[in-house]
Structure 1
Amino acid sequence: MKLSRLALAVALLPASTLSVAADTNEDILKLSDTVITGNRIAQEDVRATYASELHSAEDIKNSAAINLYDYLGRFSSVNVLTSGNPYQQKLDMRGYGIGDGYQNIVVTLNGRRLNNIDMSPQLLSSIPLNSIERIEIIKGSGSVAHGDGAMAGVINIVTKDQKGVDFSMAAGSDGYSAASVSAGLSEEFFALQVLAENSDSDGLRKKDVNGKTDESDANNLSATLKVFPVDGLELRLGKDRARMDAHYGGWINKKQFDKKPSQNNSPAAMHREWEFKTDVNRLGASYQVNELLSFDIDHAAEKKEVEFVYPGSKPSKFDYRSTDFSGQLSLERLTLVAGVQLFDGERRQNTNKTHKDNKGVYLQGLYALGDTTFSAGARREKVKYKYKETTKLKDDHTLDAWDIGVNHQYSQELSVFANLNQGFQAPDIERFFGFDPNDWSVIFNDFIKPAKSKTLNIGLNHVTERNKLKVTSYYSKLKNEIYMVPATFVNTNIDKSYKYGLEVQDSFQVTPELLTRINYAWTRAKIDKEDEGSGAYNGKNLPGVSEHSITAGIDYRVVQDGTLTLTQNWRSRAYAQEDFENKFKQKQKAYNTTDFGYAHKIDNFTLFAQVNNVFNRKNGLWLRDDVIYPVNFTRTWYAGVRASF
């Protein structure tokens, strides 16, 4: 990734202060102590009936990652790549492809959906990494609790309640600089948190024909007030604000990429500037009626403007309003959660208005019988579309999701689980439009079908005092998977497709000073049947999906307060993003980067330094032959200090 340019703030940069390097020889790897909440019912993840992956605040702190995209790309099973914009990158999980995979993942922040109604990926750059308590990744499940778009799974981000003050600053290669401050106050009847951060970079690409580089800057502000007027009642009020600006160059051909990927010789029209503004107001409450019954309600209103700057351009304006209400009943063996979720999304662009509105209701339960846990749930969701310009167009769908699962714990160390899930993805509003290849004007494409999936997960957890291991195999069968035909720029459905694979996670405490970790995924994604191209896609591999991906690393305490980290990230070659016929001359090159860091703690201060892409590997994103966006193509570094009081 373009590490110098992607940075949002250094509060994310406490580098490698390894928590396992304690003064005692006690091990800390106890998977049974880890609680997951992303599926609405809190439980130990070793007893979960679905495949999960968790990353704690300590994991993030030890990572030396500079933002959330950086962390997910280097330390999780989620594939992350950018096609130029460092602040809004693409996500892929379980073989849905780096092109459209993000639309098959629901991303939530404290329960609030971050998915957009158009084809823009979820914006994670406005989430400060040091504000995160944990990242919960639910794979092949989550459609009952989260609905539209959860076919590949869910990434649930939970922020922490901070106490005290954190301050950090750093500088690095290519003009990178960043600073942040966060503070938290907690009293008997209230708690207050505030955060501010800024980062900017001169960019990694050379100047284009207009003398422009890929410079960028970002500013984030956040404040949250919690009030506890009576026992069991919490009232929440919050405000988030983000302002971002990114210049990013266009594609280059393979000859240019091989010679010097930093060059930016594309036509002037290919240089792009992206301006982003968002303001979010949050309001919520939780009430614990008694030991058995509790209720939660959250409402958020977001107004944002997005503009691709060029002569005569105007911003697209978005208005999102979401409400999430749920109630939970917890009996001795049975836990039930019921909820209603409402989302109204509007985009105003030039003279047209487009709406996508979702209304969902769900019920799910968890039943514990000795060493065996059973789960079941169902959801019904109504999706409505409206489009208004010179004509008025409407459409709607009623979609169902369900999930059943079982987990059996054979011993304190070993448990196995199985899960069967049905999910769906309703098309975003841009899927109904395409481009006329003659003059590139926008034309109405047609209302296309929602995608549906059935996924079977089978896995095991094996946990000892020094090692934690998770293994999951899965198979997904899909109908009407959504994609754009590259040759005609028409959005449509793949009639039938399927995906299967194997996922392995392992952390091993070799000694009190040495921790090793690995996250491996083997993925196969196939097109079974598709009418486009007269059957030319039938039996082909879905483009943009690497068969093998691995992140591996070691954390080593060299002295009492100093820790080294080494991380290797590799993904195998794949077909280029638009190569549905698997016939392009050029493939997506294997992604390869090695990163090295050191952190040293002195009282309340942590000094850190990080070198990314140590061996100067040239990485890129292939759309088609000779259309390549350089990604993390050169060595970068940064160093700084962080203080906590």
Structure 2
Amino acid sequence: MGAAFYLDIMKKTLVFIACTLVCTFSRAEQTSLGESFEVAKASHRDLPSVVVESNRTIDSKDDAPPSVTLITSDDIAQSGYTSVAEIVQKLGFVNTRPGLTGKRDATFDLRGFGGSDAYTNVAIIVDGIRYSEKELATARISNIPVHSIESIEIARGGASVAYGDGASGGVIRISTIRPKGDVPFSGNATLSVGSFGTQDATVGLRGSADGFGFAVDATEASTDGYRESSGEDFGSAAATLSWTGQHIYTGIRLGAESSDARLPGALSPLEFKQNPRQAVPSINNRGDFSLFKRDFVTAFFRTHGLDRDYGFDVSQRDQRLSFKLGNPTGQRQVLQDQFSGFVRDSFEYADTVHQWTVGLNSERAELDAQSQFSFGNFAARGTQSSYAVFITDDVTVSESLRVNAGYRVERFYQYRYDMGPFVPTESSTRRDFNLEALELGFAKSLTDELTGFGKYNKGYRVPNVDENDPAARPPTGSFLNPQRSKELEAGMRRRSGQQEQVVRLFKIWLDDEIANVSFTNINLDRTQRTGIELEHSAPLGGHLALRAAYTYIDSEFRSGNLTGSRVPLVPKHRALVSLTQNLNDQAQAELLLQGQSDQRLGGDVGGVQEQGKVPGYAVADINLRYQLDRVKLVFSINNIFDRDYFSQGFFNEFAVFSGRDPIGIYPDPGRNMRVTAQFEF
């Protein structure tokens, strides 16, 4: 793949933008659809969609599809939580593991993909831009201040039609508050101090007048960390400039962030038992660090008030990483470009209302990396480009039945350059291929309170430029196979007043699941997930409210020498219970209990016999909130009973060559406290 392909993508992008602008103004004066159509559209809104759409945010919880958990800005403000990871975990009931490089970001696991790098199977979308990395790294969303978030949509289950590669487990979509119209100047500030020397300060300013709007956010944070040599210094800043016209909303957003983190490494089981707060007692691991920097710029365009909707998002991210991880040291740079555009319209046919969307997506990621080991040096270069077209049709058949269908085709181009001690001669390898995604679903209103739903989807995940890196030892001159998935889901949702209950049953079949085993990226034998998700929320009378959720996932191999064995890092049982008490008009108290069963160690796929387990655990948190005019005070204690536990551990058969135990444990924090003051002005 050469420059000609990329130029072709850019030409098509420019044509799409030009057509969007022409159609916007040519249709600005056209009349709306007839009265009967408006009645049909009203029914369309009354019954929720089956799937989340890539270009339309959910306005309220009544509109949320049954497989989606919607967290609003009011939910976030009321909770007092201070990070995106905490909000997603505690309000969205998402299996969340602490980041291994840096403390502010986390790995989110939807529907049991822990054994195959869960973050590569969950698409993270922020204001229409994909934040999921095209490398083996978690999506860095810690630069998003919680006061700037308008909503978070957590969609469980495959969503490759709308989002393409890497959405086999689901999607987490974050929408920030963008200034529109005439909004008075306002601001927010948050100051936090906590255990382990944690300090955090965030400030945000926003406003608009005469159609022009702006928003500025900045964060500065530092911590010494729970463990020795686990501190981090973090800083970020971002600004948005926008303009709102009669039928147009457009703008640009740019920002930068940096993270300087110390890395304590993985402990052996004995070391964890002796002192879970210690760093790895190895000379090779002294001074391990991760230094990350990223700059980004995005532009967006939307129409409104027309019979047909148009929009596009364009983004570029340039990120650099330097690191030391025991023996290896290295530097990496990844440059990522994105474009997504859509056209959406509605029409009436044979007493049904169709809402169709046609979208275009293109992405390009370039990796340039150098790694230095005691046994030799690696130089890696890789490129991955893709160009996709998708179409969806959301049909209101009647006031009680809504169905949807979608199809996507995506063309991928991959290139890698091999040089290192395990490569006989320097060589380059390339390939191109097509992948398809499909979805079908329905929502049926059974009574005024009860809705049944079901869906089928077929999706995929492509090995990224990092996984095809020769330093990770894929065979010379070849690539890993794309991962392919099929999923069936069915369920019921009941709503009555302030009460809501949801039951979802699902089964996922995976071929060529991609995983990292002892520093080697491989395709696993065929696997499957069978599960049930239960959610309940209701007032308990007086000033007490209950939220509860439970997930059961049976994740196992269905072929090869591991047939019947469970997939690593997937707990079979997970549960959450939250009790919130309104003490008075200004004060609230919340008790949160979380627990899960044991897991197979990550990377343990050498045989049926398990090499060890990540033990099950249960922890309790408490959160006290007090509202005083424009100031909110929050006092939180996590892991109240100071339990020593870990949510992730790995088996590495090569560890014995460096004198280490093959089981490596990453402890979760013990009891920790935080005091937060949130100001509005």
TM-score interval for Structure 1 and Structure 2 normalised by the shorter chain: 0.7 to 0.9
Q: Secondary structure at the match of 1:315?
A: strand
Residue 497 of structure 1: aligned partner: 527
| Cα deviations by residue, 1:376-409 (Å, 9 ceiling, x for unpaired) | 0100001110123532210122000010101011
Q: 1:316·1:347 contact (CA, 8 Å) conserved in 2?
A: yes
Residues 594 and 628 of structure 1: is their aligned pair in 2 closer, same or farther, counting only changes over 3 Å?
farther
Q: 1:52/1:66 Cα in 2 relative to 1: closer, same or farther (>3 Å)?
A: same
- Counterparts of residues 198-209 of structure 1 (less than 5 Å): 198-206=220-228
Partner of 1:124: 141
Cα deviation for residue 434 of structure 1 reads 5.6
Aligned: 1:186 with 2:201:
no
In structure 1, distance between residues paired with 2:621 and 2:61 = 30
The equivalent residue for 1:177 is: 199
Q: Counterparts of 1:483 and 1:349 in 2: how far apart (Å)?
A: 21
Equivalent residue runs for 1:621-632 within 5 Å: 621-624=648-651, 627-632=663-668
Which residue of 2 is the match for residue 305 of structure 1? 320
2:453 paired residue number: 417
Write the distance in 2 (CA, Å) between the matches of 1:267 and 1:582.
Answer: 32
Is the CA contact 2:486–2:510 (under 8 Å) kept in the aligned structure 1?
A: yes
Does the alignment pair 1:337 with 2:357?
yes
Does 2:275 match 1:247? Answer: no
1:411: Cα distance to partner?
A: 2.6
User: Partner letter of residue 469 of structure 1?
Assistant: Q
1:451 aligns with 2:486: no
Is 1:323 equivalent to 2:339 in the alignment? Answer: yes
Match 1:387 to one of 416, 427, 451: 416
Letter paired with 1:117: K
One-letter code aligned to 1:408 = K
CA separation of 1:99 and 1:614: change in aligned 2, threshold 3 A: farther
Q: Report the counterpart of residue 66 of structure 1 in structure 2.
A: 82
Structure-1 residue corresponding to 2:558: 528
Shift in alpha-carbon separation, 1:47–1:642, aligned structure 2, 3 A: closer
Structure 2 counterparts to residues 259-270 of structure 1, below 5 A: 259-270=274-285
Residue 280 (structure 1) aligned to one of 296, 299, 305? 296
Give the direction of change, closer, same or farther, for the CA distance of 1:244–1:99 in structure 2 (3 Å limit).
same
Question: Tell me, which stretches of 5 or more residues in structure 2 are unaligned?
Answer: 1-44, 180-184, 371-378, 419-425, 652-660
The residue type paired with residue 72 of structure 2 is S
Q: What does 1:353-432 align with in structure 2 at a 5 Å threshold?
A: 353-369=381-397, 370-388=399-417, 390-432=426-468
Name the % identity.
Answer: 21
Whether 1:571 aligns to 2:596 is yes
Partner AA of 2:275 in structure 1: K
CA distance in 2 between counterparts of 1:135 and 1:48 reads 11
- Whether 1:112 and 2:139 are equivalent positions in the alignment is no
Matched with 1:237 is 252
The C-alpha deviation readout for 1:588-645, integer Å capped at 9, x for no partner, is 1113221111111111111221111101011212213763434333111011311112
Distance 1:568 1:64 in 2: 17
- Taking a change above 3 Å as real, the CA distance of residues 53 and 285 of structure 1, as seen in their structure-2 partners, is same
| Whole-angstrom distance in 2 between the partners of 1:269 and 1:33 | 60
Which of 101, 112, 121 is residue 95 of structure 1 equivalent to?
112
Quick one: distance in 1 between partners of 2:458 and 2:52? 20
Change (3 A) 1:144 1:265: closer
Deviation at 1:373, TM superposition (A): 0.4
- Taking the aligned partners of 2:486 and 2:328, their CA distance within structure 1 comes to 46
Structure-2 change in CA distance of 1:644 and 1:511 (3 Å): farther
- Output the CA distance in 2 between the equivalents of 1:259 and 1:313: 29
Check whether the contact 2:343–2:359 (CA below 8 A) recurs between aligned residues.
yes
* Inter-CA distance 512–224: structure 2 relative to 1 (3 Å threshold): farther
Does structure 1 retain, via aligned residues, the 8 Å contact 2:121–2:461? yes
How far is 1:73 from its partner?
2.7
Q: Verify the 8 A CA contact 1:49 1:375 in the aligned structure 2.
A: no
The CA distance in 2 between the partners of 1:633 and 1:604, in whole Å, is: 32
Q: Kindly indicate whether the alpha-carbon contact (under 8 Å) linking 2:189 and 2:678 is maintained by their aligned counterparts in 1.
A: yes
**Alpha-carbon distance in structure 2 between the residues aligned to 1:442 and 1:480:** 14
Indicate conservation of the 8 Å contact 1:185/1:191, yes or no.
yes
* Cα distance between partner residues in 1 of 2:48 and 2:663: 44
Tell me which residue corresponds to 1:17.
none
Query: Deviation at 1:585?
Result: 4.6
* Counterpart residue type for residue 286 of structure 1: R
Whether the 8 Å contact between 1:82 and 1:631 is mirrored in structure 2 is no
Query: What's the RMSD between the two structures over aligned residues?
Result: 2.4
Give the deviation of 1:500 after TM superposition: 0.9
Does the Cα contact within 8 Å between 2:224 and 2:230 map onto a contact in 1? Answer: yes
CA contact (8 A) 2:504 2:533 kept: yes
More contact order relative to length (CA 8 Å, sep ≥ 6): 1
Are 2:559 and 1:544 equivalent residues in the alignment?
Answer: no
Corresponding residue of 1:586: 612
Counterpart of 1:127 in 2: which secondary structure? coil
- 1:334 and 1:38 mapped to 2: Cα distance? 14
Corresponding residue number in structure 2 for 1:16: none
Residue in structure 1 matched with residue 582 of structure 2 by the alignment: 557
Determine the structure 1 residue equivalent to 2:499.
467
Q: Distance in 1 between matches of 2:396 and 2:63?
A: 10
Structure 2 CA distance for aligned equivalents of residues 607 and 48 of structure 1 = 31
Deviations 1:227-250 (A, max 9, x none): 02x311112111121111111201
Deviations, residues 255-284 of structure 1 (Å, cap 9, x unaligned): 221232011243132342111111111112
Task: Report deviation, 1:75.
Answer: 3.2
2:608 and 2:580 map into 1 onto residues whose CA distance is 40
- Aligned residue-pair number: 596
Which residue of 2 is the match for residue 507 of structure 1?
537
Match in the other structure for 1:143? 160
- Which secondary structure does the structure 2 equivalent of 1:61 belong to? helix
Compute the TM-score of the two structures, normalised by the length of structure 1: 0.87
**Aligned pair in 2 of structure 1 residues 518, 442: CA closer, same or farther (>3 Å)?**
same
| 1:347 match | 367
Separation in 1 of the partners of 2:593 and 2:47? 28
d(CA) in 1 for partners of 2:395 and 2:558? 37
The DSSP-based 3-state class of the residue aligned with 1:66 is: coil
Q: Which residue of 2 aligns with 1:597?
A: 623
Aligned equivalent of 2:643, options 601, 606, 617: 617
1:3-41 residue CA offsets vs partner (Å, 9 max, x unmatched):
xxxxxxxxxxxxxxxxxxxxxxxxxxxx97999854445
Q: CA deviation at 1:220?
A: 1.2
1:47 Cα shift? 6.5
Question: Which segment is superposed worse, 332-341 or 155-164?
Answer: 155-164
2:361/2:387 contact within 8 Å kept: yes
Aligned to 1:257: 272
**Given the superposition, is the C-alpha separation of residues 599 and 46 from structure 1 closer, same or farther in structure 2, using an over 3 Å criterion?**
closer
- The TM-score with structure 2 as length reference comes to 0.83
How far apart in 2 are the matches of 1:591 and 1:109? 32
| Structure 1 residues without counterparts, runs of 5 or longer | 1-30, 207-212
Partner-residue secondary structure (3-state), 1:269: helix
In the TM superposition, residue 358 of structure 1 has moved relative to its aligned partner by 1.3
Q: Compared with structure 1, are the counterparts of its residues 442 and 468 closer, same or farther at alpha carbon in structure 2 (3 Å cutoff)?
A: closer
Query: Do the aligned partners of 2:382 and 2:469 also contact (CA within 8 Å) in 1?
Result: no
Checking the alignment, whether the CA contact within 8 Å between 1:315 and 1:349 is kept in structure 2 is yes
